[in-house]
């Protein structure tokens, strides 16, 4: 059974080209299921039926796994058993009848434009690391980048003349993201006046560098964002993805087309982007209730 899991992970990597993080997530789900199956006396995938898979999911639910994580587990089971059937290891697919649990729609948190302005304008670029941190935060908000995309950005991906950055997002998909004027100014200041002082003999071409000349780690970027937010006097829990959410929400509020926002964010499915319409609808409802005589 372990060998078939290994074969499936190899298939995801070589034939599907899926990311290492996704492979790890799938492996964790399947190994957890394998441990449960072993405890219940199942020694072969052929021994397992739909009732067994449902019992496993029920076990996860009782152990406190939330609906969102359960949905992911169901997807992993479905694609794995579909693979086993396709490769002739099973005649019937026991995971096919499984239904994904419904999840409550959780709206993304955002910052208003006043808070964004306060955060960015509080950074003194005349002080050490000020140019770097300002460029970093400006890029999060101006381009809606993911944390991994910021950390992975390199000099050769940057086109300052046309104001674009080429990034590699989820599923190793590449896209071009525009750089706003203020973000461009901050980047040019950082590249001209501070990045050269951070470079060492071992420095790579990563765009954002630490004080030791290496690329900034995701944990360090999270720390920088929180430190800068605290210095700006913001009481909200500020984290990198919050700036990405704010980027998308503010575009929508100012009339951007949802398909354009989808492209900018690098979402494969428009359904992922549509959550921002709920944020905008919530804002419109609040405005209506506040200002309409019969609101």
The set of catalytic residues is: 146, 170, 241, 244, 267, 276
Q: Give Cβ neighbours of residue 282 (< 8 Å, ≥ 6 apart).
A: 107
Extended strands (E) in the chain: 158-159, 164-168, 174-178
> For residues 84 and 90, is the Cβ–Cβ distance under 8 A?
yes
266 three-state secondary structure: coil
Which residues does residue 159 pair with via DSSP β-bridges, in sequence order?
164
Name which of 4, 29, 2 is nearest 88 in CA terms.
Answer: 4
Q: Give Cβ neighbours of residue 183 (< 8 Å, ≥ 6 apart).
A: 135, 138, 139, 141, 142, 143
Instruction: Give the separation between CA 286 and CA 93, rounded to whole angstroms.
Output: 48
Helix (H) or strand (E) run with residue 99 in it: none
Name which of 60, 76, 84 is nearest 26 in CA terms.
Answer: 76
Instruction: Give the separation between CA 22 and CA 2, rounded to whole angstroms.
Output: 18
Q: Give Cβ neighbours of residue 96 (< 8 Å, ≥ 6 apart).
A: 50, 78, 81, 82
Instruction: Give the separation between CA 141 and CA 179, rounded to whole angstroms.
Output: 10
> For residues 46 and 29, is the Cβ–Cβ distance under 8 A?
no
Torsional sign, CA 12, 144, 251, 163: negative
């Amino acid at each position: 059974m372990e060998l078939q899991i290994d074969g499936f992970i190899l298939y995801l990597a070589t034939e599907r080209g899926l990311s290492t993080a996704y492979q790890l997530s799938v492996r964790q789900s399947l190994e957890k299921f394998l441990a449960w199956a072993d405890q219940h006396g199942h020694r072969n995938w052929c021994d397992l039926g739909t009732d067994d898979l449902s019992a496993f999911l029920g076990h996860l639910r009782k152990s406190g796994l939330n609906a969102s994580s359960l949905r992911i587990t169901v997807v992993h089971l479905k694609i794995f058993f579909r693979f086993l059937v396709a490769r002739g290891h099973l005649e019937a697919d026991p995971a096919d009848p499984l239904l994904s649990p419904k999840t409550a729609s959780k709206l993304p948190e955002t910052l208003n434009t006043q808070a964004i302005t306060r955060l960015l304008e509080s950074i003194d670029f005349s002080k050490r690391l000020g140019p770097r941190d300002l460029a970093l935060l400006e890029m999060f908000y101006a381009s809606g980048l993911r944390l991994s995309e910021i950390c992975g950005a390199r000099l050769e991906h940057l086109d300052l003349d046309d104001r674009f950055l080429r990034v590699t997002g989820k599923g190793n998909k590449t896209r071009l993201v525009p750089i706003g004027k203020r973000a461009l100014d901050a980047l040019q200041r950082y590249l001209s006046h501070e990045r050269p002082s951070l470079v060492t003999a071992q420095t790579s071409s990563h765009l954002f560098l630490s004080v030791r000349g290496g690329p900034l780690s995701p944990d360090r970027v999270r720390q920088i964002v929180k430190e800068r937010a605290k210095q700006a006097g913001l009481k909200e829990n500020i984290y990198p993805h919050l700036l990405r959410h704010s980027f998308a929400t503010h575009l929508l509020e100012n009339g951007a087309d949802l398909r354009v926002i989808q492209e900018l964010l690098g979402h494969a499915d428009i359904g992922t982007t549509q959550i921002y319409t709920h944020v905008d609808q919530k804002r419109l409802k609040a405005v209506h209730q506040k200002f309409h005589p019969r609101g």
